[in-house]
Structures are given as structure tokens and as C-alpha cells.
Amino acid sequence: MTEFINVGKRIPKSDAQEKVTGKAIYIQDLKIPGMLWGKILYSHHPHARILNIDTSEAEKLPGVKAVLTGYNIPTIKFGFYKDNTPLKSNKVCSYRDEVAAVAAIDPDIAEEAINLIKVEYELLPPVFDPEEAMKEGAPLIHEDHLGGKEKKPTNILNIPWKLVAGDVEEGRKNSDYVAENRFKVTWVTHCCMGTSGCIAQFDPRDNLTIYSNTQIPSLAQRDFTEALSAMGLQGKKVRLIKATIGGAFGSKLDTYPYEYIAILLAHRTRKPVKIIFSREEEFFATSPRQAAIIDIAQGCKKDGTLTFRDVRMVLDNGAYTSWGATTPSVMMMPISSLYKVPHVRYVAKCVYTNNTYSQAFRGYGNPQATFAIESQIDSLAEMAGIDPLDFRLRNANTPGEVTPQRFKVGTCGLRECIDAVAQRLDWRQNRGKRDGRGVGMASLIHVGGGARVYKSDGCGTIIKVDDFGTVNVITGATDMGQGADTVIAQIVAEELGVRIQDVVVTHTDTDICPWDVGAHASRTTFVAGNSAKMAAKKVKEQLLEVASRSLGEVPENLEIRDRMVFSKIDPEKKSPLGKVLRAAHYTTGGKMVMAEYFYDPPNENLDKEFKGNLSVTYAYGTHGVEVEVDKTTGQVNILKYIAAHDVGRAVNPMLLEGQVYGGAAMGIGYALMEQLVLNNGKVINPDFRDYKILTASDIPTIEAITIETDDPFGPFGAKGIGEPGLVPTAPAIANAIYDAIGVRIKDLPITPEKILAALKGKDSK
């Protein structure tokens, strides 16, 4: 592959120093003169009718500027299903339901006022199990929600998640071995170090500015614009300004009630209103990864060739609908396209319950589905008497393949990833001993070239170059800690022949930054990177054009490197870039170099059958793990962790490895310890004492292996890598545990208790 000067280099994040020295301005740090503080009163019951809300004492408290309830605000509906409101009236459907809100001159007074609000409830029977909730006669969460052919009240959402490719019955008939299992995954939450928050402010003409740490500035702007319309403020503008984002991981991919509440409070008080979540609120009032019940069957021939995959899921939708309800769109991806499988069926039901509702979370359904698929691949291989390594190699995806969901596989380094993992784990040597140590592996497919889930998958870039060669890049992309700004700067620096420190990337303000669909689907390096590269290409053409005039050489013969323009054929003809720029500028009818580009990848929305080439290219990877399991305590110790990824091209190997390390660490938590525990709908571990994530000392050494397939569509060959690091972790660990001790845990997290119970069950057989 071509060697580049800026691309491929281990360059620290452009804001690393601000972050480690405490200088970065997070939403927590932002203050606006005259600002009030908002606080929210949540429901005390999982399901209840609201009989009365008495806010009189709260209103009397000095310093309180507004008290809102669902009864004194305009009707605003939001969420994917438009079933959510900022403040609830009539009834509450979960502990997280917002019942009232206060704006006061300081947060303590707001908190005190919240405690003075008296709500009378009439309790309603709740339902917390989605399978129970599906049954006739179950308590209805939303009485007016009708479904099914008869349009009867139901808790089952009307989203027809169904993918059929080939004929699974036919596939089952042709199978020599069939595995059938039920897997369960539970709620885990993002654990962003920066809790959620916003500041809403209206100008005197009722235009809204909202400071936020959203991942979706353009779509949030649209959501809030709709809310303004609902408030009677049609045609008013929304400006969204991002603070430094202290982690997001999907949690900030949708708008939240607290944001609408801040907007309503700001409009009521005519003052800026800030709402910042406490850590407790961050745990119970943001939306976790969804709990799901997964029934899966897969079959194979004697030689291990996969014959079919048939998956049914029930997803606990909780009381309202956010992106969690749409994760099946991504679950389809591994179900249809991880390994070559001719017959595929996937049916999922999302069911309202009185639990918390769910959101996007890194991988967006993929880790859940891959846990079931890849755990079961090992079971199936065992049934067929085939080494799971050979089983995977036999079925591995290959370049040029078109999958049952009509994904067009371009570059594909899956085989290389599997091989690399096997080699690093010394697989043949270490496998199958059942001596308390074991190895396991699991693979992944993910979108790596955007994901056309919205009508546009685009990102815009504006570039201007000053008189001294400083390049300002204004991007639609969102840097939420993943290093987008740095990667975009590298791409632009590479394209233009300037230094990385000459490039300043701005991504903070919808008044300034072009449209972008958001930081999701591992799309930023690919889509925003391509957008930046193509804008830079236009800039470069202009640079060479003006240099051509200065140097008396045709643009085709000119090149720029390290801020020097030179002729490729005449070494005498050269000039510093700044000089060329100033010559072009400092003349009558002068020119300043600027350009813009809107890149929308040539991918496809899924059709009504949920088929289509969702992404321009796909990312593959395999994780391998060696574990040691203590049979007396059930404790799992990870001895070795190998993460091999087909990344197309590593634009910044250091940041890329950071994504892989972070993803694997999150995945290990998902596999072994993380769980948002709901007890009758109530989160009972809303803190880091009781919600266990890996600390630095818990994280094993993770070896990241980069397979570069130089994707022809990617910017300098790159694919997306934001999410994949998390996807195959849990099944790789589950498989290694099975290899170590012969028990298979099929519901996450794989706690010592579950291992001990399984060992006991196995011994008693």
C-alpha cells in the first residue's frame, strides 16, 4: 500500500492536552449570564394514574421561577414512535417518567422545590416481562396503542421486523446438525464519564439556542424545531452548539425529555435554563442497551457448511420508544451476513413494558445478536465434531460476495483476522483441554462505509485557507471523544500537503457546520473523512491553480508537500505555500482559497423487505481470548486478549487501537459483569459502586491486530472502526469459558454465580 505522510501516523488527539489538563469545556462547565437551573421530579411508581399534582408549595419557594407539569405545557410528542412527552399527564408508565420540573436560581433550590411537589397516584398493575406483556389481558402500557390485524390495544409495537432470505425450512431439512438455543441479554448502560445535560436559551424573537452534548446535531436541531412548532413557535430557528462531549457511545443519539423540559422552562422563564444529570439520573433516566430474549437455530452439513440461521427475538421496549426499538435493523446484519449462510430468517417483536426504555449503544444490536450467533457456532461445530476455528474458516465471508440481505461485500479481511487470532492464541495447541484454561474466538461483521438508516447518510465540509497556510475545516461530524477531529485533520493535511498542526477542525455549531446525520454506525472516519477529503481535493485544485500562475508551471505538474509547492519535473520551480496564497490574495480581484463538499455515500436504504446494500463497505474482525476459570469461585481471568480487525486502512493507528481497546473493555464488561439491575421496573444499582464496569486495573492487555485491506471507497482506504471492537467480545469469552470448563452460559453477564450454578448443574447430571 502507498505510504502517506500524515495518514497512518500515531498522532495524539488534537484535544488531548485540554482534556488531561482540565481545560476542555464540557456542558458541566458552561455558564450563561442569568442562567437558571432545572430539576426534574420522576415518578414514584412503575405504572400509575396521576390523580393530582400539587405544586403550590414549590411555587412559593423563593428563587423558584417556574414549575411545569404535563398539565401546563403544550403537547410535544417525540421519539421514534412519537409516544413520549416531556412531562407526563394522565399516567406514568415507568419509574423514569418525568412528572414535574422546576427552574430556580440555583440547583439546590430547584432540588428543594422538586421535593415540595406532591403527587397523588392511583396504582395500576405493572408488567415487567415482555413475554408476559405480549399475552392477552396483560396490563396495557399505552391504552391507545393499537396493533395486529384487528387493530386492538396491545403492548406489541407495530414495527414488522422480519427478514427472510432463502427458505429456512429447506435449510433445516438439508442440515446434518441443528443447534437450537435461547440466549438472553440484559440492560447495560453507556457509563459516560460526562453526564447528560443541556442549556436552552431563547432570543427575544423566540429563536432557540441549545447547548448540548448530542451526537446528532442536525437531527436534534430538527427534533427541537418540531418541538418549537408544537409550542406555537412555527418558523422559529434552532441553533445547536456542542460542548466538549464526555463520552456518548450511542446514549446521545436521540433527544431526551430533559432537553424538551429545559426548552419549556427557558421559554416560560425567558431565561437560559441548564439541566445537568446527576450520576444517579444518568443511570436511570438515560436509555440503556436493550434487554432481549433470543431464540436461535442454526444448522450445518457434516463438513461444517452452514445451512440456515433462524432467529426470533423479543425485545423489552420499556415504556417509551427510542432507537432501542430499531436495533433489530442492525441485528439483521450479523444474522444475515456473518459467515456465508444460504437461508436466513429473522423475526423480532418489540414489546412495551413498565421498564426503562432503550437507546442506541455502540454496536446497535450487533453485540446482542452476535453473542447468540457466535456462541451457537461453537455448539454447532462441536455437534459436527469440527474445530470451531476450521468451522469459521469454512464459512468465512469473502470479497465479492453478495449476502442474503444484499450487502455487497467489497474488501473483506475476515479470514486474515481469524488466522491472526488463531496464530496469536496458539489455537491448535491450547484448545479443547477442559483444564480450567481455554481459548475462544468470535467474529463480526459491521457497517464500515456509512449506514443509510436515514434518508441521507451525508456529511458536509467547508474549508478555508488563510494567508499563511492555516487550513480551517468546518465539518458536520461530531467528535465525541473518538478523535474525529484529529482523523479529519490528518486526512485534510494528507490531501493538501500541509502539516497536521496547520489544520483546525471546527464541529461545534449548527449555524456554522454543514449537515451530518450524526456520529453513529462507525461512519465518521468514512463519511466525514471522505467529505473532508473531497473538499480538500477542491481546495487543492485551487491551490495548484494559483500556484501555477506564480510558478509558471501547469497545475498537473505541481505537487504540495510540507507546505511547499513544487514542480514534479523542474526542481527550480518551487515556492512556500503561504507565499503562493498571499500572491493570489494580495492583488486586485484577489482570491482566497475556500471550498465546500457534501458527501453522501452510494449506499442504499433497506427496502421493505429490509434488504439492500446498507453500507458502501463492511468491517470484519475476530476476537480471540484465553481465559482461566476458577472452578471454586466461578471467577474468570482473562489471560490473553487478541482483537484482529479489518480496518481498511488505519488513518491513525493510535486512535484506532484506542477504539479497539475501549470497545473490547466495554465488551468484557458486557460479557462478565455489567448489568443495569431492574427490580420491578426500578433501577436498583444507579451508581458505580453497584454497577460494575472495568476499571483500569481490571482491563487485561488487549492486543490489537490491524488487517489493512485498503478499501477503494474509504478515505485513503479506511473503513469505520468505532463499534466493532465491542461486537464479538462476549461470545469469544463465552466460548473460551466453555473451552476451559465445559459449561456454556447463555445469558449475560456471565457472572461467577452463573458459572458456579452451571458447574453444579453439570456435576449433578
With binding defined as CB under 8 A, does residue 754 bind a copy of itself? no
Total residues in contact with a copy of itself, by rule CB under 8 A: 52
Q: Write each residue from 498 to 517 as x if it is in contact with a copy of itself (CB under 8 A), else as -, in one continuous string.
A: ---x--x-x----xx-xx--
Smallest distance from the beta carbon of 13 to a copy of itself, in angstroms? 12
With binding defined as CB under 8 A, does residue 456 bind a copy of itself? yes
CA 296 from chain centre, in angstroms, equals: 25
With binding defined as CB under 8 A, does residue 607 bind a copy of itself? no
Cβ proximity to a copy of itself, 227 vs 418, nearer residue: 227
Cβ proximity to a copy of itself, 149 vs 455, nearer residue: 455
**Which of the ranges 40-48, 98-106, 133-141, 469-477 carries the binding residues for a copy of itself, by CB under 8 A?**
469-477
Q: How far is CA 619 from CA 180, 398, 535, 646, in A?
A: 28, 12, 25, 6
Cβ proximity to a copy of itself, 262 vs 331, nearer residue: 262
Smallest distance from the beta carbon of 537 to a copy of itself, in angstroms? 15
With binding defined as CB under 8 A, does residue 235 bind a copy of itself? yes
Q: How far is CA 155 from CA 131, 140, 285, 708, in A?
A: 10, 6, 22, 46
SS (H, E, C) 564-587: EEEECCCCCCEEEHHHHHHHHHCC
* E strand or H helix at 116: helix 107-116
Pairing of strands 636-646, 702-707: parallel
Residue among 7, 511, 86 nearest 263 (CA): 86
Q: Write each residue from 555 to 594 as x if it is in contact with a copy of itself (CB under 8 A), else as -, in one continuous string.
A: ------------------------------xxxxxxxx-x
Q: What is the largest CA-CA distance in the chain?
A: 91
Smallest distance from the beta carbon of 390 to a copy of itself, in angstroms? 40
CA 204 from chain centre, in angstroms, equals: 36
Q: Residues 164 to 193: which contact a copy of itself by CB under 8 A? A: none
Phi, psi angle pair for 413, to nearest 5°: -105, 30
Sole binder of a copy of itself in the list 45, 239, 343, 649 (CB under 8 A): 239
Q: Which alpha helices (H) appear in 117-216, and where do they start and end?
A: 130-133, 168-173
Smallest distance from the beta carbon of 662 to a copy of itself, in angstroms? 23
Sole binder of a copy of itself in the list 9, 172, 237, 692 (CB under 8 A): 237
Nearby residues of 315 by Cβ (< 8 Å), 6 or more positions away: 130, 290, 291, 292, 324, 325, 327, 328, 348, 349, 350, 351, 358
Q: Write each residue from 204 to 223 as x if it is in contact with a copy of itself (CB under 8 A), else as -, in one continuous string.
A: xx----------------x-
With binding defined as CB under 8 A, does residue 226 bind a copy of itself? no
Buried/exposed 640-651: b ≥16 CB within 10 Å, e otherwise: bbbbbbbbbbbb
Where do we find the cell 481471568? 637
Q: How far is CA 682 from CA 142, 678, 685, in A?
A: 19, 5, 9
With binding defined as CB under 8 A, does residue 545 bind a copy of itself? no
Q: Which amino acid is at 4?
A: F
With binding defined as CB under 8 A, does residue 541 bind a copy of itself? no
With binding defined as CB under 8 A, does residue 460 bind a copy of itself? yes
With binding defined as CB under 8 A, does residue 603 bind a copy of itself? yes
Q: Residues 23 to 42: which contact a copy of itself by CB under 8 A? A: 23, 25, 29, 31, 33
SS (H, E, C) 425-450: HCHHHHCCCCCCEEEEEEEEEEECCC
Cβ proximity to a copy of itself, 380 vs 535, nearer residue: 535
Q: How far apart are the first and last CA of the chain?
A: 56
- Return residues touching a copy of itself (CB under 8 A): 17-18, 21, 23, 25, 29, 31, 33, 203-205, 222, 225, 235, 237, 239, 452, 455-456, 458, 460, 462, 464, 466-468, 470, 472, 474, 501, 504, 506, 511-512, 514-515, 585-592, 594-596, 598, 600, 602-604
